[in-house]
């Protein structure tokens, strides 16, 4: 079936400038390389694909283009729910789109809100506290070392070796620095020392449909409808010690072209099963659709116990470089097939196509 697809993204080169903007302000936005690759992938499957910048102009452009579906990767620009803005417009226009909806994109952009949901469902995520001022008292149950990062950014923004803090003076300094730079609540978590893996999934659980941990009546784990990509492990051994054994902004931007990783990650089968199950549970309880990537740390001080750091319902799709793309590649799924797989599951979910 030949579809008319609008590819919606926020390009870095179209991003607005503002007073006091941090130099990494738009690191999570997309490049022409990504958009052109998505357009080409869709065209290679026989679809018509047109790129549109994810802006208010969509309200006029989309009714003219009349797409069957949008391929949405917009990260947005402003506010505490920026990733949900374009999907909200699409819902008002009643146009189907790939990926997660308004509520999920608003929720998961906020790492602390997401962690509250994970905790409610008993899913393992590091203990945490949110700071709106640098001098707020530290919860007595949080022990150093701690990890400091913005609550609503991506692409490792605000994440460097200095995010790991070993005592109160360092914590206060990091908080003051990040609050001033990012002007949003800052998340402080227990630092999980250990390996790091991220796992991508494509599809939608067939059941259960409610936003709960996917188990059937006999409490068996349900995976049906999801395709897991092989986990990718960041090869910290290949990076300077200054990066602190974390996946920093520098590694995700300046050094992205020489990313050092292992995929599939050498994870023993029982642990891999657990990671897949946790990823499916996160996907489900946060209401993700079609595609996501879930980031984990394996606690070296507790037998590699997996902890969920965050879920990315808009994982990067830079050809040949983004984590999800590398995972797909390791699974024998070339870029064009990955893009068309996402389109197909969205198309089926929207009720426009039979499986």
Ligand X SMILES: Nc1ncnc2c1ncn2[C@@H]1O[C@H](COP(=O)(O)OP(=O)(O)O)[C@@H](O)[C@H]1O
Binding site for Mg ion (CB under 5 A): 295
User: Is residue 246 involved in binding ligand X (CB under 6 A)?
Assistant: yes
| Shortest Cβ 351–ligand X spacing (Å) | 32
Among Mg ion, ligand X, none, the one that 299 touches (CB under a kind-dependent 5 to 8 A) is none
Strand ranges, E, within the chain: 4-9, 48-53, 69-72, 128-131, 146-150, 164-165, 186-190, 194-203, 226-228, 232-234, 261-262, 290-299, 305-312
Q: Which is nearer to ligand X, 41 or 232 (CB)?
A: 232
| Shortest Cβ 312–Mg ion spacing (Å) | 6
| Shortest Cβ 158–Mg ion spacing (Å) | 12
User: Is residue 309 involved in binding ligand X (CB under 6 A)?
Assistant: yes
Per-residue x/- mask for ligand X, residues 184 to 203, rule CB under 6 A?
-----xxxx---x-------
Query: Are β-strands 4-9 and 48-53 bridged in parallel, bridged antiparallel, or unpaired?
Result: parallel
Buried b (16+ CB within 10 A) or exposed e, 126-138: bebbbbeebeeeb
| Shortest Cβ 50–ligand X spacing (Å) | 29
Strand ranges, E, within 80-139: 128-131
Among ligand X, Mg ion, none, the one that 196 touches (CB under a kind-dependent 5 to 8 A) is ligand X
User: Is residue 310 involved in binding ligand X (CB under 6 A)?
Assistant: yes
Is the peptide bond prior to 208 cis by the omega test (within 30 degrees of 0)?
yes
295 and 201 Cβ atoms separated by less than 8 Å = no
| Shortest Cβ 111–ligand X spacing (Å) | 6
User: Is residue 314 involved in binding ligand X (CB under 6 A)?
Assistant: no
Among ligand X, Mg ion, none, the one that 189 touches (CB under a kind-dependent 5 to 8 A) is ligand X
| Shortest Cβ 163–Mg ion spacing (Å) | 12
Integer CA distances (angstroms), 315 to 29, 46, 126, 242, 288, in order: 11, 24, 22, 26, 12
Structure tokens at 99: 């990926």
| Shortest Cβ 28–ligand X spacing (Å) | 8
Among Mg ion, ligand X, none, the one that 277 touches (CB under a kind-dependent 5 to 8 A) is none
User: Is residue 261 involved in binding ligand X (CB under 6 A)?
Assistant: no
Size, binding site for ligand X by CB under 6 A: 21
| Shortest Cβ 134–ligand X spacing (Å) | 19
Q: Which is nearer to ligand X, 192 or 345 (CB)?
A: 192
Q: Nearest to residue 126, comparing CAs of 313, 274, 310, 311?
A: 310
Among Mg ion, ligand X, none, the one that 246 touches (CB under a kind-dependent 5 to 8 A) is ligand X
State the Cα–Cα distance between residues 56 and 38, nearest whole angstrom: 22
Q: Which is nearer to Mg ion, 30 or 295 (CB)?
A: 295
User: Is residue 297 involved in binding ligand X (CB under 6 A)?
Assistant: yes
With a CB cutoff of 8 Å and minimum separation 6, the contacts of 336 are 40, 41, 44, 45
User: Is residue 236 involved in binding ligand X (CB under 6 A)?
Assistant: no
User: Is residue 24 involved in binding ligand X (CB under 6 A)?
Assistant: no
In the complex, which residue's CB is closest to Mg ion?
Answer: 295
Per-residue x/- mask for ligand X, residues 136 to 165, rule CB under 6 A?
-----------x-x---xxxxx-x------
Per-residue x/- mask for ligand X, residues 109 to 128, rule CB under 6 A?
--x--------------x--
141 and 226 Cβ atoms separated by less than 8 Å = no
State the Cα–Cα distance between residues 113 and 107, nearest whole angstrom: 6
Q: Which is nearer to ligand X, 159 or 232 (CB)?
A: 159
Report residue 54: phi and psi, to 5°.
-75, 85
Q: Which residues does residue 80 pair with via DSSP β-bridges, in sequence order?
A: none
**DSSP 3-state percent helix, strand, coil across the chain (nearest 5):** 35, 20, 45
Number of other residues whose CB lies within 10 A of the CB of residue 194: 19
Q: Given the rule CB under 6 A, which residues bind ligand X?
A: 111, 126, 147, 149, 153-157, 159, 189-192, 196, 246-247, 295, 297, 309-310
């Amino acid at each position: 079936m030949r579809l008319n697809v609008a590819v919606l993204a926020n390009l870095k080169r179209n991003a607005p400038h503002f007073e006091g903007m941090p130099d990494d302000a738009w690191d999570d936005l997309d490049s022409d390389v990504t958009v052109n690759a998505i357009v080409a992938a869709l065209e290679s499957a026989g679809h018509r694909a047109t790129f549109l910048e994810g802006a208010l102009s969509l309200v006029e452009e989309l009714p003219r283009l009349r797409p069957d579906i949008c391929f949405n990767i917009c990260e947005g620009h402003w506010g505490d729910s920026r990733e949900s803005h374009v999907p909200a417009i699409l819902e008002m226009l009643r146009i189907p789109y790939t990926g997660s909806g308004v509520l999920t994109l608003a929720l998961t952009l906020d790492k602390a809100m997401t962690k509250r949901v994970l905790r409610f469902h008993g899913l393992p995520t590091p203990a945490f506290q949110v700071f709106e001022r640098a001098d707020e008292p530290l919860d007595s149950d949080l022990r150093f070392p701690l990890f400091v990062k913005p609550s609503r950014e991506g692409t490792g923004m605000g994440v460097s070796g200095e995010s790991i803090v070993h005592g109160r003076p360092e914590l206060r300094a990091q908080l003051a620095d990040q609050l001033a730079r990012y002007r949003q609540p800052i998340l402080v978590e227990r630092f999980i020392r250990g390996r790091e893996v991220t796992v991508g999934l494509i599809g939608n659980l067939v059941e259960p449909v409610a936003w709960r941990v996917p188990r059937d009546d006999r409490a068996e784990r349900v995976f049906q409808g999801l395709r897991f990509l092989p986990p990718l492990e960041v090869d910290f051994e290949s990076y300077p010690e200054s990066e602190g054994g974390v996946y920093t902004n520098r590694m995700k931007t300046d050094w992205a072209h020489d990313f050092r990783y292992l995929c599939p990650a050498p994870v023993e089968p029982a642990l891999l099963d657990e990671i897949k199950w946790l990823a499916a549970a996160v996907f489900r309880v946060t209401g993700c659709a079609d595609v996501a990537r879930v980031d984990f740390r394996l606690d070296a001080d507790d037998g590699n116990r997996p902890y969920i750091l965050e879920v990315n319902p808009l994982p990067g799709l830079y050809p040949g470089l983004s984590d999800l793309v590398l995972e797909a590649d390791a699974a024998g799924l070339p870029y064009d097939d990955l893009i068309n797989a996402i389109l197909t599951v969205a198309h089926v979910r929207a009720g426009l196509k039979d499986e």
